[in-house]
Structures are given as structure tokens and as C-alpha cells.
């Protein structure tokens, strides 16, 4: 009898707790986000009609979050070093007194991290600008906005002496490496988790660098490209690696406001579905320590670490440690040794039960307990009542 009463009490408490977990116990606060960049962030110069920060806000609202308090400090034609020297007042004046920035998005010149730019200046200016924001908002997280390569057919890839003989893939690899390095610099200086790499350009590459992402200059983004860019940045800022379940009807309405369905710049629902599936694949959570990127952390990853020790090579899934491959990378591997992705394990995903299944489970447990009690007392339910 007492055992059955206790079971009822436990189930009731579990159900109430499950319902509490399943509902917001307090309203979510809007995020305070500061953006530094240029026309790649503003996205209004060349066929786009909505800035990347505005599209991110639209996506956040569509996903059920309160609209972020965005402060777009991007200036067309400028890089991070110019912002560091000339555009820092906004760090204090762009936010309400007593509030702190949660994220600062850093987007540099579209060639700065490559061999035709200035990688060293990219790294120092990203770290220097982050430090200035961090002085005001000590818990701020930097989001390093990796830009995209020029589209196929651009002059960077043609002529007798092309800047990037390997085409968009070569340019994207240099951008990727540069932004990984600047992300690692901030994490090394301010602590792991202080900066996150936002693989915007990687998503463009995963989409195949289609020309319908680009404006007519095969350089800037038109609205499709802006949507792809904003989806990646939203996913990083809001820690949401599944964008395909967001109803983008309102987002598309804003982007399509200036275009008729016959216009090539009009974004259809199927276009958006392709973009969200590309973003979901790009944002698939990494497996820290999986240096050979095969879905599991094992001895093979140790071999990769040993082969790259004391180099500045960028290892896959290194949690943006960056810098020289050494003890920190080894410790990351050791900490996660034996881990594997669900795909690598062959197991399905497990989740905390929802309130409804939790109630069903409790009822099943009660029915089983009553049945055992009846059997123990000759089938009498009356003896077993609580």
C-alpha cells in the first residue's frame, strides 16, 4: 500500500516537473548583437533589399525567439582594422546603459584572410576589436563571419595569371583557414568558448557556389545568398543546427517584397528548402577530437595528431583551438576518446521524454503495480486501493 502511494506521488511529481521543463518558466530575453562588417553584412548594394542582421532577426522571430536587439555597425568598403581604429564608440553608445553585448559578429574584407590580402592584419584586427568589445561586455562571444569565395567565372580565376588558379575551392579554403586562425586567436587569448567560427562561406561551397546566390558582379550576395548567410549566422548565434523546421513564410515575404514571382530574385519555398537543408548539413555538430573526421574518436585520430604535432596545420574538429598543434589538441582527443556520432554508432537519438509520454509511462507503471498487488491479494482490487 505505502509503496503504491509512493509510486503515485513520484509519478505526479515527475509529470509536473516534465511539464515545467517543457514550458518556458520565464520569458526569453532578446539578444544584444553587435555587427562589424561591410557590404557583405549590409547586403543592400547589389540586388539585395534586406540586410543580413535584419534577416537574422526575421529568422529568430520565425523560430519563436524574441526579436534580437541588433546594432549594425557595418560600413560598406571597410574592414575590421578600420572599425578597430574608427568605429568603436558604438560599443558603448549602441546599447542601453547597464546592458552587455552577448555576441559581436566580425566580418572582414572578403580577401583579407587570403594570400592576396593580409592574413596577419586580419588576425590582429579581429582580436583587437574583440578585446575592445570584451572590455565593455566581459562575457561577449565573438562570431567570426567567414565570407564566401567569388563565384565561378569571376576574374580571380581567369586569365594568364589568375589570383586563385584552383578556382572558388582554393579561395574558400584560404578564407576558411584564415577565419579558423582568427577564431583560435581569440579563444587562445580569452578562453575557449570566447569565439565561434561561423561557416557561412562553407555553406556557399556546400551549395555548389550557384550563381543565383550572387549579384551580377559574381561577388556580392543577392537575396538568396543573404538568406543562406543569415541562416548560418542565426544557427551559430542561437545554437540551432536544425533550420529546416522553421516556418520561413514571413522571412520570405520580407525578402520577396520588391519582386514578383517571375523575377529571378524571387525566393520560392523550394529554394528556401534547399538552403535550409544546406545549412543543416553545414552546421552539423562537430565531434571534438575527431581529427580524421570519420565520426569517431579513436587511435586513428591520435596518429593524425602525432603527424601534425608542432605544426600550425588546422585539424578538423579541434574546437577552434587553432595555433600550434600540441598538448591542448592531445588533451581534447584524450577527453573525447571513445566518443562517436550517432551515425557512427548506429544508434538512434535519445531524448528526454516529452510530458505526454511521461504521463503514459507513469500510468503504465501504476497499472503494473496494481496488477501485482491484485495477484498478491487473490485478485482483490479493494485491498489495493490507495
Interstrand relation of 141-145 and 103-106 (parallel, antiparallel or unpaired): parallel
Measured CA distances, 229 to 41, 112, 226, 272, 342 (Å): 9, 19, 5, 12, 27
36 band by pLDDT with thresholds 50, 70 and 90? very high
- Residue 71, pLDDT score: 98
pLDDT (tens digit per residue) in 149-178? 999 999 999 999 999 999 999 999 999 999
User: What is the overall mean pLDDT for the chain?
Assistant: 85
Low-confidence winner among 78-92, 265-279, 331-345 (lowest mean pLDDT): 331-345
Of 334, 172, 302, the residue nearest 315 (C-alpha): 302
- How would residue 290 be classed by pLDDT, with cut points 50, 70 and 90? confident
Q: Which residues sit opposite 104 in a β-bridge?
A: 34, 142
Nearest in space to 225 (alpha carbons), one of 335, 314, 159, 150: 150
Instruction: Give 383's pLDDT tier (boundaries 50, 70, 90).
Output: very low
Contact, 224 vs 251, CB < 8 A? no
Closest CA to 208 of 267, 265, 278: 278
Tell the CATH topology of 31-284.
Rossmann fold (3.40.50)
Q: How far is the C-alpha of 144 from the C-alpha of 281, rounded, in Å?
A: 19
Average confidence (pLDDT) over 290-318 = 84
- DSSP 3-state assignment of 144? strand
**Residue 304: pLDDT over 70:** yes
Give per-residue pLDDT as tens, 101-113.
Answer: 999 999 999 999 9
Chain CA centroid to CA 187, Å: 16
| Mean pLDDT value across residues 271-290 | 90
Q: Where in the chain is the domain with CATH 3.40.50.1110?
A: 31-284
Sign of the C-alpha dihedral computed for residues 326, 313, 126 and 85 taken in this order = positive
206 φ/ψ angles, rounded to the nearest 5 degrees: -65, -30
Is the pLDDT at 15 greater than 50? The verdict is no
Dihedral, 221, 223, 228, 229 alpha carbons, nearest 10: 50
Average pLDDT, integer, range 246-257: 96
Residue 229 CB-density burial (10 A; 0-12 exposed, 13-18 middle, 19+ buried): buried
Q: How far is residue 59's CA from residue 48's CA, in Å, rounded to a whole number?
A: 17
Q: What is the pLDDT of residue 21?
A: 47
Could you read off the pLDDT of 234-245 as tens digits, one per residue?
999 999 999 999
User: Which pLDDT score is estimated for 373?
Assistant: 46
Whether 236 and 60 have beta carbons less than 8 Å apart is answered as no
Q: What is the pLDDT of residue 381?
A: 41
pLDDT (0 to 100) of residue 331: 87
What pLDDT score does 380 carry? 42
In this structure, the number of other CB atoms found within 10 A of the CB of residue 3 comes to: 10
DSSP letter string, 69-114: EEEE---TT--HHHHHHH--THHHHTS-TT---SEEEE---TTTTS
Higher pLDDT, 285 or 386: 285
Predicted confidence at residue 315, as pLDDT, reads 82
For the segment 272-295, the average pLDDT, to the nearest whole number, is 87
Amino acid at each position: 500500500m505505502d509503496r503504491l502511494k509512493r509510486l503515485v506521488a513520484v509519478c505526479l511529481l515527475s509529470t509536473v516537473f516534465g511539464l515545467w521543463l517543457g514550458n518556458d518558466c520565464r520569458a526569453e530575453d532578446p539578444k544584444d548583437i553587435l555587427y562589424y562588417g561591410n557590404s557583405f553584412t549590409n547586403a543592400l548594394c547589389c540586388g539585395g533589399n534586406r540586410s543580413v542582421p535584419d534577416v537574422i532577426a526575421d529568422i529568430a522571430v520565425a523560430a519563436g525567439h524574441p526579436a534580437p536587439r541588433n546594432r549594425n555597425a557595418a560600413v560598406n568598403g571597410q574592414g575590421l582594422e578600420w572599425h578597430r581604429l574608427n568605429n568603436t564608440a558604438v560599443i558603448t553608445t549602441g546599447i542601453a546603459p547597464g546592458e552587455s553585448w552577448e555576441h559581436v559578429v566580425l566580418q572582414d574584407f572578403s580577401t583579407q584572410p587570403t594570400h592576396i590580402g593580409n592574413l596577419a592584419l586580419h588576425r590582429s584586427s579581429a582580436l583587437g576589436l574583440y578585446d575592445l568589445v570584451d572590455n565593455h561586455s566581459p562575457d561577449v562571444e565573438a562570431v567570426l563571419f567567414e565570407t564566401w569565395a567569388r563565384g565561378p567565372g569571376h576574374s580571380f580565376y581567369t586569365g594568364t595569371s589568375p589570383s586563385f588558379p584552383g578556382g572558388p575551392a582554393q579561395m574558400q579554403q584560404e578564407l576558411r583557414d584564415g577565419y579558423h586562425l582568427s577564431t583560435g586567436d581569440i579563444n587562445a587569448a580569452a578562453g575557449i568558448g570566447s569565439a565561434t567560427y561561423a561557416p557561412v562561406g562553407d555553406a556557399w561551397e556546400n551549395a555548389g557556389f550557384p550563381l543565383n546566390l550572387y549579384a551580377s558582379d559574381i561577388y556580392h550576395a543577392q537575396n538568396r545568398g543573404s538568406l543562406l548567410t543569415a541562416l548560418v549566422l542565426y544557427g551559430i548565434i542561437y545554437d540551432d543546427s536544425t533550420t529546416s523546421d522553421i516556418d520561413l513564410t514571413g522571412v520570405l515575404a520580407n525578402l520577396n517584397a520588391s519582386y514578383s514571382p517571375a523575377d529571378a530574385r524571387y525566393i520560392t519555398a523550394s529554394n528556401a528548402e534547399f538552403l535550409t537543408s544546406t545549412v543543416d548539413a553545414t552546421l552539423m555538430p562537430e565531434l571534438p577530437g575527431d581529427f580524421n573526421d570519420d565520426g569517431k574518436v579513436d587511435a586513428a585520430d591520435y596518429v593524425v595528431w602525432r603527424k601534425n604535432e608542432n605544426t600550425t596545420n588546422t585539424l578538423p574538429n579541434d574546437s577552434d583551438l587553432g595555433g600550434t598543434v600540441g598538448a591542448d589538441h592531445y588533451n581534447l582527443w584524450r577527453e573525447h576518446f571513445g566518443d562517436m556520432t550517432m551515425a557512427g554508432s548506429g544508434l538512434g537519438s535519445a531524448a528526454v521524454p516529452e510530458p505526454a509520454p511521461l504521463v503514459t509511462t507513469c500510468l503504465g507503471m501504476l497499472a503494473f503495480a496494481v496488477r501485482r498487488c491484485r495477484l498478491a491479494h487473490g485478485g482483490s482490487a479493494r485491498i489495493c486501493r490507495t
